[in-house]
Amino acid sequence: MSWWRHLTAGIEALARRTETERDERDEIQHFLEEAAAEYEARGWTRREALRKVRLEFGGEMQAQARLRDHGWENLVEALWTDLRYAARRLRGEPVVAGVTVLTLAVGLGAATAIFSAVETILMQPLPYPDAEHVVSVWDVGEDGAPLELTFGTFRELIERSHSFEALAVFKPWQPNLSGTEVPLRLIGQSVSSGYFETLGVRPEIGRDFRPQDDRMGGPREVVLGHSVWRDHFGSDPEIVEKTIQLDERDFVVIGVMPASFENLLSPEAGIWSSLQYDMSQGRAWGHHLRAVGRLRPGLQLSAATREVEEIAATPWSDFPRPQWASLDRGLRVVRLHDEITALVRPALLAILGAAGLLLLIVCVNVTLLLLARGVRRRGELALRRALGAGRKRLIRQLLTESLLLAAIGAVLGLVFAELGIHGLVSLGPSDLPRIHAVSMNSTVFAAGLGLAVLVGFAFGLVPALRATETTSHRDLAYASSRLTGRRGLPQALIVVEVALAVVLLVGSGLLLRSLEGLLGVDMGFEPDRAQTMQVLVSGDRFDNRVTEAFFARSLEAVRSVPGAASAAFTSQLPLSGDYDVYGVRFGSEDGVESGEGGMFRYTVSTGYFESMGIPLLRGRTFDRRDEVGDHRVAIVSESAARTRLGGLDPIGQPLRVGPADLPPYTIVGVVADVRQASLALGDAAAVYVLSGQWHFADDVRSLVVRSAGDEGPQPADLRAAIWSIDSNRPIVRAASLRELVNRSVGERRFTWSLVQGFSVASLFLAAAGLYGVLAASVDQRSREWGIRSAMGASRRANVALVLRQGLALTALGTTCGVVVAVVITRGLVGMLYGVSNLDPATYVGVVALLIAVATLACGIPALRAGRVDPVTALRAE
């Protein structure tokens, strides 16, 4: 228990410091007195005895100092003294301390926030048990892209595959919740019975879907998400077994999911119904089901892939496959985590890289600041050494100061990190997976803190070692005069800093050029002065005829709203995330087909092209005659007309889409290509038909209203017009076309704005570093300026000398930076649009910007060098 005695004795000594000190003094004095008394007894005089004792045993102070070195409480005391002294020193130079702390805090905060997000999104396992076993299963389309599964393939896999512990399919489901004040559409999923089991989650209350109920005509049951249960059912604890009305049908609530359930396959979904797949009429063969599976424990992904490929390659007669679901191109098994993060990984890594570069610049800058401080304090330190302070003691003092700076920087940095994470969560694009799960975790916290301490040690040690390595008279001379010191290290650091800033600026410039390029593309429609909203019908009442009539009457009502120049309905809107593709065949009925393939399918009302501002290139648009006539007409996009018809004049050509037993459409017009899936993807083949001439009535349609003047119709008026026809129709997703465009580049804008922020910060830091180093050098060399002036150098010559020095450093740094940027921006290539990573304009712009900023940063100290008065400079000190 000796540590305990050490501890208590130490605490006692700390608590009763004066008594402890008195006791120590008494004991030492007693020792020396006794020794002296002995000499006196042997006949020496008192004075001589005391002198002998001093010679023999040393002085009282020395003994006390020895005694002081022992025991932890004295270390604490020394540390406390150091800390108080450090705080006093930092208060004495608030600007340097403030800038250092703030720089450090910004760097640490940004890096910690970004790393927290990246760690959560890319590295943490998904929030499911054994999440690495959860996979997606995809069919493969003609173009090699993943394609949704058909129910037929799902059934075959269930029967034949042994790789999966559980396998489930699902599709979107958006029921209309009845009995609410404003018609309300819920976002949900229709899932087969193994869905929750596959993910490994269970309802918090109630039960999961039963396999035996997952059949056509089975009981109508729903599971509620926690937020839907809370927001629309008041967290009713007795909700299970109660009946609710969805799409004007009764559903029994069987369970409620826990609040912690993150549904990554459809993050917005808050209600689930049983799929109860309708296999009649050959409908088992539509590619519209997403599949999720859980691999058997211990099974490798590659083994599962091999097995499903094997199944795809060897059809069984028990499971006849149609030609379009023949699995000729195999099946794909993808780890769910990889699938979810695949799209955002490059952007996140780019942001992380930028944050890392910023942190590096911050470290360099703080080193520069502390080095400059060390140089300024050389005289003081030399003086303290000359007065007897040990080297260890001085290093400890300097380390304490820089650690104190680092600690304050770290605390502030953690505050910044917390704010940064909040900012990321609220400003980040909503399609960033798991963004709401991002929080500062302890690993990141510890990493940040460790980094801060390391930075503190490193930054404290360098100046401390340099400042205390010698105690020559030359150093002592710093106390009073100023000599030219070594400037190699700061200059090297400046070059590094400028180079890093160039890299960041180039990256940010390239991303900006891509963004501008994207927003500048010909979208194929006119995004300004048009607003959109989505209208839904659902329920048994809405058969094809009723649905069509409802949309037709709604359109009439909307067209009469003041301020609406034109209006139309469409089954899908560009850049809205809608993605509706059908196989289309061109050519005459006698089998001479000149082209086949998937095309975007739009069912629209008349006036759609006018409302969207899509230019008509050839032929005509739909008009009233088409609405009443039996003649089935279609309009195709320019790229479809160009590539799918083998050079034939498109007007008058037949086109087949939908069920084969229906007569073909005749092409009557060609319109411009529209960017449907994303601004970056051009040449979208598209076919437009009138909604009344399609074989079923789409129950979700988007309204597009073009404004007559700058002030368009109020969204509330548009809603009121539709509700005047049927007040139970939910209206959602109200947005202007411009907003859809901006949202579609949200992730790019987000990436760019972060990288932009970091690069601007880096530019400031580099400029500040340049300024600081030059200013210090000008101050140190004031005598030199004086001598030069006295020898006849003009003011201008002095200014030019400093400018040249600063700009030479900038040029070197810029050159290094450009070289590094050329290499590093290769990693960005996948995120660039319409601009090469070697884009000359970007590089030239960055270099020009840097030189301009550097000139400004060098100019101020340069002018000061020019203003030095020779007489004052030579007389000073």
Partner 1 sequence: MSSDPNTDVIHGTLDLLILKTLSLEPLHGFGIARRVEQISGRVFKVNPGSLLTALKRLERSGCLESEWRQTENSRRAKYYALTPAGHRQLEVESAEWNRRSSAVQRLLAAES
Binding residues vs partner 1 (CB under 8 A):
1-2, 5-6, 9, 23-24, 26-28, 30-35, 37-38, 56-58, 62-67, 69-71
Whether the CB-CB separation of 381 and 455 falls below 8 Å is answered with no
**How big is the CA angle at 157 (ends 156 and 163), to the nearest 5 degrees?**
155
Give 24 or 526: the residue with its C-beta nearer to partner 1: 24
Per-residue CA distances from 512 to 116, 322, 519, 631, 745 (Å): 25, 47, 11, 49, 12
In angstroms, what is the minimal distance from the CB of 300 to partner 1? Answer: 59
Give 36 or 239: the residue with its C-beta nearer to partner 1: 36
In angstroms, what is the minimal distance from the CB of 63 to partner 1? Answer: 4
In angstroms, what is the minimal distance from the CB of 60 to partner 1? Answer: 8
In angstroms, what is the minimal distance from the CB of 426 to partner 1? Answer: 56
Whether the CB-CB separation of 403 and 460 falls below 8 Å is answered with yes
Give 34 or 869: the residue with its C-beta nearer to partner 1: 34
In angstroms, what is the minimal distance from the CB of 66 to partner 1? Answer: 3
**How big is the CA angle at 168 (ends 162 and 170), to the nearest 5 degrees?**
155
In angstroms, what is the minimal distance from the CB of 54 to partner 1? Answer: 11
Q: Please state whether beta strands 146-147 and 184-185 pair in parallel, antiparallel, or not at all (unpaired).
A: unpaired
Give 67 or 617: the residue with its C-beta nearer to partner 1: 67
Q: How many CA atoms lie within 13 A of 256 on its CB side?
A: 21
In angstroms, what is the minimal distance from the CB of 395 to partner 1? Answer: 23
Whether the CB-CB separation of 366 and 359 falls below 8 Å is answered with no
Report the distance separating Cα 804 and Cα 799, nearest Å: 8
Structure tokens at 688: 């437009």
Per-residue CA distances from 448 to 117, 401, 453, 692, 755 (Å): 14, 19, 9, 62, 20
Closest CA to 859 of 784, 776, 764, 775: 775
Please enumerate in sequence order all residues whose Cβ is within 8 A of that of 242, keeping only pairs 6 or more positions apart, or say none.
236, 252, 253
In angstroms, what is the minimal distance from the CB of 120 to partner 1? Answer: 49
In angstroms, what is the minimal distance from the CB of 72 to partner 1? Answer: 10
Give 31 or 285: the residue with its C-beta nearer to partner 1: 31
In angstroms, what is the minimal distance from the CB of 22 to partner 1? Answer: 10
In angstroms, what is the minimal distance from the CB of 772 to partner 1? Answer: 45
Closest CA to 211 of 200, 226, 196: 196
Give 9 or 546: the residue with its C-beta nearer to partner 1: 9
In angstroms, what is the minimal distance from the CB of 472 to partner 1? Answer: 25
Report the distance separating Cα 831 and Cα 96, nearest Å: 39
Please enumerate in sequence order all residues whose Cβ is within 8 A of that of 569, keeping only pairs 6 or more positions apart, or say none.
535, 551, 554, 555, 604, 605, 608, 691, 701, 702, 703, 704
In angstroms, what is the minimal distance from the CB of 75 to partner 1? Answer: 14
Within 10 angstroms of residue 643's Cβ, the number of other Cβ atoms is 13
Give 42 or 796: the residue with its C-beta nearer to partner 1: 42
In angstroms, what is the minimal distance from the CB of 788 to partner 1? Answer: 52
In angstroms, what is the minimal distance from the CB of 77 to partner 1? Answer: 15
In angstroms, what is the minimal distance from the CB of 128 to partner 1? Answer: 55
Report the distance separating Cα 444 and Cα 154, nearest Å: 42
Give 31 or 324: the residue with its C-beta nearer to partner 1: 31
Residue with tokens 């884009």: 839
3-state helix, strand, coil in the chain (%, to 5): 55, 15, 30
In angstroms, what is the minimal distance from the CB of 30 to partner 1? Answer: 5
Give 53 or 375: the residue with its C-beta nearer to partner 1: 53
Give 22 or 242: the residue with its C-beta nearer to partner 1: 22
Report the distance separating Cα 468 and Cα 483, nearest Å: 17
Give 6 or 867: the residue with its C-beta nearer to partner 1: 6
Give 12 or 142: the residue with its C-beta nearer to partner 1: 12
Number of H helices, E strands in the chain: 28, 24
In angstroms, what is the minimal distance from the CB of 61 to partner 1? Answer: 10
Whether the CB-CB separation of 446 and 114 falls below 8 Å is answered with no
Give 30 or 249: the residue with its C-beta nearer to partner 1: 30
Q: How many residues can be counted in the chain?
A: 877
Per-residue CA distances from 479 to 368, 569, 582 (Å): 21, 82, 83
Give 33 or 309: the residue with its C-beta nearer to partner 1: 33
Report the distance separating Cα 152 and Cα 287, nearest Å: 10
| DSSP code string of 118-168 | HIIIIISPPSSTTGGGEEEEEEE-TTSSEEPBPHHHHHHHHHH--SEEEEE
| DSSP code string of 172-227 | EE-PEEPSSSS-EEPPEEEE-TTHHHHHT---SEE-PPPGGG-STT---EEEE-HH
Whether the CB-CB separation of 315 and 325 falls below 8 Å is answered with no
Give 59 or 129: the residue with its C-beta nearer to partner 1: 59
Structure tokens at 861: 């100290």
Give 61 or 387: the residue with its C-beta nearer to partner 1: 61
391-406 burial by CB neighbour count: b if 16+ within 10 A, else e? Answer: eeebbbbbbbbbbbbb
Give 24 or 236: the residue with its C-beta nearer to partner 1: 24
Give 34 or 159: the residue with its C-beta nearer to partner 1: 34
Whether the CB-CB separation of 719 and 531 falls below 8 Å is answered with no
Burial of 585 (0-12, 13-18, 19+ CB in 10 A): middle
